[in-house]
Chain A
Amino acid sequence: MSDSEVKSGLEAAGEADEAAALPEPVTARLLKAELGTAVIGTSMAFGDLAIQIRREALVSAARQCRDHPELQYDYLMDVGAVDHLGRTPRFEMVYNLYSLRFRHRVRLHVQIPEEDPTVDSLIDLWSAADWFEREAWDLMGIRFRGHPRLVRILTHAEFVGHALRKDYHPAERHRLSRTYDLFTEDQAGAPPDGASSG
């Protein structure tokens, strides 16, 4: 990898308003070359690159981002779930990546349909995905295929529903009847793969 390519990527990430005039960022170009139609589109906002990925291709795209010698996104900074109530598809997952080597960032966006809110877990690539994905399951009801222990992380064991969904009534509450041992007792987890979503 030449220094000029790295430099062009950094410049593209730093100049928001001139994004259109700049050459396509390295990340976008490489991911398109590696994944083909799995990349739905790319966009720049405020100097940050966002890439729309097909749901099926999330793990391979993330693996490219992490392992490609010119990308090296080794740091999964954040995982977010968005509820676009009334839109189809309803949910969206957002993965914020950062490269400690090149100091550039990218967001991977994946659209999730309401009837099957499932996506592959990234826990094999970044162990940091563990708690992020448990949080997304707990509060938004997204299921992560391949997560070893997808149980609630913030709300308690007897909680019903997913509290940050837009159609969750703010006054709806669930009392906890007793204390639970966080490590030994079964908590309310996600239904197994293939079961109907609840």
Chain B
Amino acid sequence: MAGNQPIAITPLGQAPPSKGGATGNGMPMQWLTTRVDDFVNWARGNSLWPLTYGTACCGIEVMSVISSHYDLARFGAEVIRFSPRQADLLIVAGTVVDKLGPVLKTVYQQMPDPKWVVAMGACAASGGFYRAYHVMQGIDEIIPVDVYVPGCPPTPEGLIYGILELKKRIERGETRPQIATREWAARNAAREATREATREAVRESVRV
């Protein structure tokens, strides 16, 4: 279970907390005490690899966000991937028609876990002003969504806010795939405990 405590990193240049920690080369030693879960979440939140999925004008705003002026690289999410196999953040930027639905679902399924989805703009979030026969009324009809960014299209600042919000939640371990993983691990542990108890009972019976 990942906690909410921040990661403790000793500031640069500070003396090592104990004699035993000295490196022997005169350099102060750096310390980092945390839990693996927190560390992994921190790394994941700061290195999102977005997959482009621009189908309308929102795609223009995504291009703006990853370009130098708004510079998504400041938040570690600049490695735009063009293969779902290499991405963990799907930014659905634009209108998704029913005809495109199976393709979007396939792309999502091809992404390795853990993976997150941002529904950018009114169309991806709700169908927008296309209340009509051909447009999906929000991509959450077919794939789960972690963050909805409103707007038509949203401003670059809006998308950055959405990604930062997702980053925060990833670092706290609150997102859907992280919760699912923890629940899976808990179920596994419970099952293993039951098995171990059974094995122990068998061993007891043999000893007698």
Contacts and interface: CB of A to CB of B under 8 A. Distances in A.
Interface of A: 154-156, 159, 163, 168, 170-179
Interface in B94-121: 98-99, 101-103, 106
B106 A173 contact: no
B185 to A, nearest CB: 34
A179 B103 contact: yes
B133 A156 contact: no
A170 B102 contact: no
B101 A176 contact: yes
Contacts of B195: none
A154 B99 CA distance: 9
Given A179-B103, A179-B106, A170 B133 contact: yes
B101 A175 contact: yes
B134 to A, nearest CB: 6
Contacts of A175: 98, 101, 141
Interface of chain B: mostly helix, strand, loop or mixed: helix
Interface of B: 98-99, 101-103, 106, 131-134, 137, 141
Nearest to B98: A176
Given A163-B132, A171-B131, A173-B134, 19 more contacts: A154-B134, A155-B98, A155-B99, A155-B133, A155-B134, A156-B98, A156-B99, A159-B98, A163-B133, A170-B133, A173-B133, A174-B98, A174-B133, A175-B98, A176-B98, A176-B101, A177-B102, A179-B102, A179-B106
Contacts of B131: 170-171
B102 A173 contact: no
Most-contacted residue by chain A among B98, B131, B133 (CB, 10 A): B133
Most-contacted residue by chain B among A170, A177, A179 (CB, 10 A): A179
A159 B106 CA distance: 20
25 contacts: A155-B133, A155-B134, A156-B98, A156-B99, A163-B132, A163-B133, A163-B134, A168-B133, A170-B131, A170-B133, A172-B133, A173-B134, A173-B137, A174-B98, A174-B133, A175-B98, A175-B101, A175-B141, A176-B99, A176-B102, A177-B102, A178-B102, A179-B102, A179-B103, A179-B106
